[in-house]
Amino acid sequence: SWSRGLGDVYKRLTRTLESGAYRYQLLETIRHYAKEKLLESGESDSTRESHYQYYYKLSEQAYKENTRKYEYWVNRLELEHENIIAALEWIRDDIEKRLQLACVLGWFWYYENAYCILGLEYLKDAENCPEEAILTKARALTNQAMLLFASGDMEGLSKIDSCLELWDSLKNREDKVKSLFNYVILQAAMQDYKAAHDAATEIEEIALELDDKYLILQSKTAHLMVYISQLQVDLAEPLAVQNLKDAVALNDFLMKQFALHFYSDCAIMRMDFKEAEKRYSVGMKNSLDYGNHFGAANESQGMVFALSGQARYTKALHLQGALDAKYDEYGIITPQFKFWIDWVEEYVYGARKDVGEEKSAQYEHEGSQI
């Protein structure tokens, strides 16, 4: 809705914080005028430093609390995103300070809005972070690895190998779990299931030692990922059901999303395509309820498999066209797991073969325009 009674001073009402306070955006003309006045005052540098410190502390808090207060922090960072980008731009040439802020935003860029291109730009040079800034370097390499993976660049594996050594020297177990979880994803994608299993087991050991229910659930999710990647449906399905219950009880959105997605994958493995369609639709709704576009894209791809498995090729290819357009927009690709790539071959390329090249192109183009 448009703000009333403020004339040309304010533009568009954006979001409402948990406190109920409203936020407005300044018109660009007002913004430029204020910037000129700030420069004239001679206080530009100190103001920018204060601005940076405020948004660094905010983002650091979000990084630490995102599992337990996911919805709040997603909304808050979305609300503040333009200010955060402004802070990053002001210190772009200061590698350490840029990475210090960017490294605590990687989870948001990856999971919530799939800002892969944006995130990789601000996390570039992670390996050149000053040696004394070990925590920043370890976090930056972890998040850079995942954004590279999402964009289809497997260089991320070498980067996450490097940062695991840094975590060992830091003895920061909570942060190491974040890195190990990403390591499981990458190793499963590389089909090194033993390495993925060992990392999942290490997460479990740390979680039990810390007696942290959230980390325990994360370790179970890591094990679930390994089972799914090997198509071990009899092990995966009951664990997905239990993880879903635990995630709901803890109000852990991300682990809930993983559980819903892997539960849906199990239906594809059993070739129960109608059930898979139902399950993926629940996962898609869950993602969209939280504005998680990356998660919604993965559920959409699963829906394509389920529709194609039912020989509903027109709808499947319409959805594939829409999905490909989103992947291009976000700068990401189809998840690089062998079983997922095999399903793309079977259910997407298979549908195109059955429908024919001309009709497939037509249906996918129509889908991309939606």
Burial of residue 249 (CB within 10 Å: 0-12, 13-18, 19+) is exposed
What global pTM score does this model have?
A: 0.84
Q: Beta strands of 78-176 (E only): which ranges? A: none
pLDDT of residue 327: 83
* Neighbouring residues of 360: CB distance < 8 A, sequence distance ≥ 6: 317, 351, 352
Please, what are the averages of pLDDT over each run of 10 residues along the chain (370 residues)?
Answer: 29 40 60 59 71 94 89 88 92 94 93 78 91 91 88 76 82 87 91 95 95 96 98 98 97 93 98 98 88 84 97 96 86 84 96 95 91
CA distance 233 to 229: 10
pLDDT of residue 307: 97
* Element housing 196 (H / E): helix 193-210
Task: Give, in degrees to the nearest 5, the angle at Cα 250 between 289 and 285.
Answer: 20
pLDDT of residue 25: 62
